[in-house]
Structure 1
Amino acid sequence: MEKSGPYGITAGHDGAMWFTENKGNKIGRITKEGKITEYFLPTPHAEPLIITKGINEAIWFTEYKANKIGKITLEGNMTEYDIPTAGSGPCGITSGPDGAMWFTEINGNKIGRITVSGEITEYDLPNPGLFPSMITEGPDGALWFTENQGNKIGRISVSGDITEFDIPTPASGPVGICKGGDNAVWFVEIIGNKIGRITTSGQITEYSLPTQDAKPHAIIPGKDGELWFTEWGSNQIGRIKPCGEIIEYKIPTTDSEPHGLALGQDGAIWFTEECGKIGQLIYWQAGFTSLSTI
C-alpha cells in the first residue's frame, strides 16, 4: 500500500507489535509471523506519530494533526480525546507511574497528562519555543522529556513541577528518550550526532556516533542493559553498551529511513521504515528480516 509511512511502534499486551501509519492514517498490528492487520482512524488526516502500550490494557497513541490522543483496544476499537490547546501538535507519549498517560505538545509547548477516562491536564513549560518531543517514565518516579529546540532534557514530577538540564553540545536537537537499565535516562541527539545519558541528579555524558550525520531518532532499552536506536540519516540500527561502546547494523533496504523501534516479546528489535516496511533485527545473529511492505 502506497504512502503508509510507518512511524512509531510498540509491543502490545497481546504479544504482537502495534505501529502507526503516519501517512496512511491507520494503526497497524503485526504478528511475529508477519501477518498485518490495519485499523483506520476515525479522524481523517490525523497523522498518528508515537504509540505505546499503556493503561487499561489498551494501546495509546498521539495524533499530531488531529490534535488528539487516541486509544485502541486489542480488538481494534478506537477512542479519541481532544486536547484542550488548539494545534498543540501531540508527539511523544508514555505511561506514567501514577496510572495515567503522559504526552508532549510540540507546538503547544506543554506536557500533557490523560487519565484512563480521558481527562486531560496540561502543564506549561518555563520558556517558549522549546519543542518538547519524546517522553519516558524515569527511574525516579518522574517523567523525562526532550526539548528539541531548547537543547535541554526536562523532568516533570507527577504533581507538575518541572526541572530542566542543559545539554553540553550546543543545538544538539534531542529527540528520542528512554529509561535505561542502569537507573539513568538515555537520549539521542539528532543534530549533535550523539547518544546522551543523564543521571537523576542531572549529570550528562555524551557518546559520539561512529557514522557522521547518522541522525539518531528513537532509542529503547534492550534485554541485557544495552540501548538500541535508529539512525534515520545513515540507514542503520545502532546499539550502545553501558560502557559506551557503539555497534551499528546496516539495514538491507536502501534509504529505508528508520524511525521508531521496540523490543518484541520474541527478544528481537522491531522497527519502522518510512519507505513502507516493518523490519526486525535478530541481533544475536546480527540478522535482519524485512517482514512486510504495507
Structure 2
Amino acid sequence: MIKRSSQLGALSATLSIALTCFGNGVVAAQPARAESSERNRILSIVDTSGRPVTGAMVTRAVDDRRQITRFTNVSGQIDLGSFDDGPTEVEVRYPGLKSETIALRSDSLRVELEVDTAFLRELPSSEWLALLPEGDMKREFTVNCASCHEISHDRIMLNGKPRSKIEWQAAIAMMRAMDAYDVIPPDFDDEDYAAWLAENLSAERIAKLQPGTRRNPEALANIEITEFTLPESDSLPHDLVNGPDGRIWITAFFYDELWVLSPEAGEIERISVDDNENVNAQPRALKFDDAGMLWLVNGGSESVLRVDPKTGSYETIGVGMYAHSIDVDAAGDIWVNDYFAEAERVAKVSHKTLATSVFPIPASNRPASEGLPLPYGLQVDSEGRLYSTQMAANTLARFDTKSGKGTLFEMPASNSAPRRPGLDNRQGLWIPEFNTGHVAYFDPTSEGFTRIQLGSSSVGLYDIEVNQANNDVWATGSLASTLIRYQSESGRSILTIPLPTEPAYTRHIAVDESNGDVWTAYSSMPAATPKVVRVRFLNQ
C-alpha cells in the first residue's frame, strides 16, 4: 500500500527500488555470463516506509518488436531471472509515480521515484467518466461519444484547462463531421451535452481525481503481458483470431490488409484484401471455419471474403450490406449482420456455392429521431440459433436459421448498449453492457437474463470471448485499459488485468484454448498507439 497525502492526487511517499543479486554457489572458474545466469535476481519495490509496493509493472524490451511486462508480487518483489535472457534494464511503473528506467547491475541498486504530479495524463477514461453523474444522459453520452475511442486527458483538457461549453460544442461538431454513417442520433442535443460536460468535467471536479490502485496483486504476479509493435502507427487493428498454424490474424482497418503475426519472432506478414483502390474496404471481423479457411468482413465494400491462409488469395462475395460481425454455423455457412440498416437484417453466405441470402430479423422499431438500431455483435450456437445485439436499440434478436422464426428480447437494463457477446460451451450467451459495467447472461432455455457486475459503469465492456475449455468469460474493459476474467463456473472470481499502454482501447478478444493465452489489440479511433497484446498465465 502506498501512503497518500491530503493534497489532491499526490502520493506522500517516494518509491524506493532495491535490486539485490544473491549467489547460489557458482564455481569460480565458470565464465561470468554463466555465473550471472544462475543467480536469483530479485527486484524489490518498497515505499519509503519500507512497505512493499504490490502490482507494480516491470517492463523489458525483447527487441524493437516486442515488450514483456510482469507485476511485482504481494511482497513487492519480482524475480528478474524469470525473464528470458535476463534483462539488462527494465522500466518500473506504478499509478501516481513517475516511471523509471533502471540499468541493472550485479551490485545493489536503490532508486527513489518521485510523485508524478502529471498523473492525470496516464489516468484511463473510466476514471474521468466516473466524474459524470449516473443516469440516462451519461449512458447516452458514453454510447455515442466513447464507442470508438477513449475519453481521457487529451480529449477533456485543452491548453492545460478543462474544455468550456463552447469548446465542447466544437469537439462534438468535429465528431459529427467524422460520422459518415450517421451513428449519432438526431435527438442527441449538442448544446445540452456541451453544457453538461463543461459543468461536470470542471477544474474543481477534476481536482478530486486520484491515481488508481492495483487489484489482485497475488494473481497479477502470475501474469505476463507481451506487446507486439504493428507496422503502421495509424492502422486501427480491429479484430484478431488465432489461426490453425499458431499465427495471429489481424484486420488492419485503415490499410485494407490482413496482418499475420508470428508470435515467437514478432514478425508480421502483410496481405492486401482490397482489389478496388477507389474504395476503403474497412476489413473488420474475421473467423476461421472448421476446414481452415478464413472468412473476412469488408464493411466498406459491403462484402465477405473467403481467404486461403496458405496463399493469401481470396474470393470476394457481395452481401449488399455494411456487415459488422461474422460467425460460422454448424453446417459451415457464414452469417453477418447489417450494421447501418434502418430495419435489422442478416445475410447468409453458402460455403458451398458462395450464394448470398438476406433475412429480416425481429425489428426494434426504433423511432427515426433516436437513430439507427445498430446491430452489433453476432453469434450462432450449435443448434442454429443466431443472436444479434442491437447496441443503440438495446435489444437482443434471436433468429432460428433452420425455421426462420425470430424473437426479440429487451435487454434487462435500460440503454445498456449491448455490444459483442460470446457463447459458452452450454449455449449460454454472455453479453457485455458497454454503458453499465455489467455482463448479462442469457439462458436460452428459460429465456431469462442474469446480470453480473464486472466493473464500474465507466469500464466500457466491449467484447466477450468465452474459453470453451473451462467457460472462463473474458471481457475487454475498453475505457479502463483492462482485460477482465470472470470464472463463470465458480461464479465468484473476477480478475482485472491492467494493460501496459494507456490508452488501451480494445475491441476484440481471441482465446487460445490449447494453452489459455488471451489476445487483443489496442484500436482507438482516432488513432492512439496500436499494438497486439498477449496475456499469458505463467503457471499454465
Q: Is 1:193 equivalent to 2:384 in the alignment?
A: no
Task: Identify if the C-alpha distance between structure 1 residues 223 and 286 changes in structure 2 by more than 3 Å, giving closer, same or farther.
Answer: farther
1:96-135 alignment to 2 at 5 Å?
Answer: 96-116=289-309, 117-126=311-320, 130-135=321-326
Q: Is the 8 A contact 1:104 1:133 kept in 2?
A: yes
Q: Please state how far the C-alpha of 1:231 moved relative to its aligned partner.
A: 1.1
2:458 equivalent to 1:255: yes
Partner SS, residue 186 of structure 1: strand
SS in structure 1 opposite 2:227? strand
Matched letter for residue 316 of structure 2: E
Q: How far off is 1:185 after superposition? A: 2.0
**Aligned partner (choices 491, 495, 498) of residue 285 of structure 1:** 491
Are the counterparts in 2 of residues 55 and 99 from structure 1 also a CA contact under 8 Å? yes
Among 238, 243, 246, the residue aligned to 1:54: 243
Instruction: State the match for 1:141 in structure 2.
Output: 332
Query: Does the 8 Å CA contact 1:34/1:292 hold for their aligned counterparts?
Result: no
- Distance of aligned partners of 1:212 and 1:69 in 2 relative to their CA distance in 1, 3 Å threshold: same
Partner Cα separation in structure 2 for residue 71 and residue 87 of structure 1: 20
Structure 1 residues 166, 183: CA separation in 2 closer, same or farther (over 3 Å shift)?
closer
Query: 1:55 & 1:121 partners in 2: Cα distance?
Result: 20
Q: Which has the higher strand share?
A: 1
1: distance between equivalents of 2:263 and 2:233? 22
Shift, 1:23, TM fit? 7.6
Tell me how large the CA RMSD over aligned residues is: 2.5
Equivalent residue runs for 1:172-183 within 5 Å: 172-183=373-384
Q: Residues 220-235 of structure 1: matches in 2 within 5 Å? A: 220-235=422-437
Cα distance in structure 2, aligned partners of 1:83 and 1:3: 37
| SS in structure 2 of the partner of residue 71 of structure 1 | strand
Q: CA deviation at 1:292?
A: 2.0
Structure 1 residue 162: deviation in Å? 0.6
Distance 2:409 2:149 in 1: 33
**One-letter amino acid matched to 2:426:** D
Structure 2 CA distance, aligned partners of 1:4 and 1:56?
Answer: 35
In structure 2, relative to structure 1, the CA distance for the partners of 1:261 and 1:32 (3 Å cut) is farther
Change (3 A) 1:293 1:261: same
Quick one: which amino acid aligns to residue 66 of structure 1? Y
Name 1:217's counterpart in structure 2: 419
CA distance in 1, matches of 2:431, 2:405: 21
Alignment of 1:35-54 (within 5 A): 35-54=224-243
- Mapped partners of 2:475, 2:260: distance in 1: 21
For residues 221 and 164 of structure 1, the distance between their equivalents in structure 2, rounded to whole angstroms, comes to: 23
- The residue number in structure 2 matching 1:94 is 287
Name the CA distance, whole Å, in 2 between partners of 1:224 and 1:111. 29
State how far apart, in whole Å, the 1-side matches of 2:419 and 2:485 are. 17
Paired residue total? 269
SS of aligned partner of 1:69: strand
* Contact 1:92/1:103 (8 A) holds in 2: yes
Q: Distance in 2 between matches of 1:69 and 1:161?
A: 24
- 1:231–1:258: 8 Å Cα contact kept in structure 2? yes
Match of 1:155 among 340, 348, 354: 348
CA contact (8 A) 2:361 2:399 kept: no
Say which SS state the counterpart of residue 35 (structure 1) adopts.
strand
Query: Using a 3 Å threshold, how does the CA distance of structure 1 residues 122 and 3 change in structure 2: closer, same or farther?
Result: farther
Letter in 2 for 1:82: S
2:287 alignment partner, SS class: strand
Structure number, greater radius of gyration: 2
> What secondary structure, in the 3-state scheme, does the structure 1 residue paired with 2:421 have?
strand
Question: Is 1:270–1:278's contact at 8 Å kept on the other side of the alignment?
Answer: yes
Q: Are 2:431 and 2:440, in contact at CA under 8 Å, matched by a contact in 1?
A: yes
Give secondary structure in 1 for the equivalent of 2:245: helix
The alpha carbon displacement at 1:195 in A equals: 1.7
Q: What is the one-letter code of the residue matched to 1:248? A: R
**Matches of 2:221 and 2:236, distance apart in 1:** 26
Shift of 1:285: 2.1
Residue 19 (structure 1) aligns with: none
Higher deviation after alignment, 249-258 or 62-71? 249-258
TM-score, normalising length from structure 2?
0.47
The verdict on how the C-alpha distance between 1:168 and 1:280 changes in structure 2, with shifts beyond 3 A counting, is same
Offset, 1:114: 1.3
Residue in structure 2 matched with residue 83 of structure 1 by the alignment: 273
Verify the 8 A CA contact 1:97 1:142 in the aligned structure 2. Answer: no
Deviation digits for residues 166-214 of structure 1, max 9, x if unmatched? 1221353211111214332222111221222222233222221110111
CA deviation digits over 1:81-119, x for unaligned, max 9? 112234111111111244211111121111112111211
How far the C-alpha of 1:222 sits from its partner, in A, is: 0.7
Deviation at 1:254, TM superposition (A): 4.2
The answer (yes or no) to whether the contact 1:53–1:59 under 8 Å persists in 2 is: yes
- Could you say which residue in structure 2 is the equivalent of 1:71? 260
Q: Is the 8 A contact 1:104 1:110 kept in 2?
A: yes
Q: Is residue 146–residue 177 contact of structure 1 (8 Å, CA) maintained in 2?
A: yes
Matched residues in 2 for 1:220 and 1:82: separation? 29
What is the CA distance between 1:32 and its match in structure 2? 10
Which contiguous aligned blocks of 4+ residues in structure 1 show a shift greater than 4 angstroms? 1-5
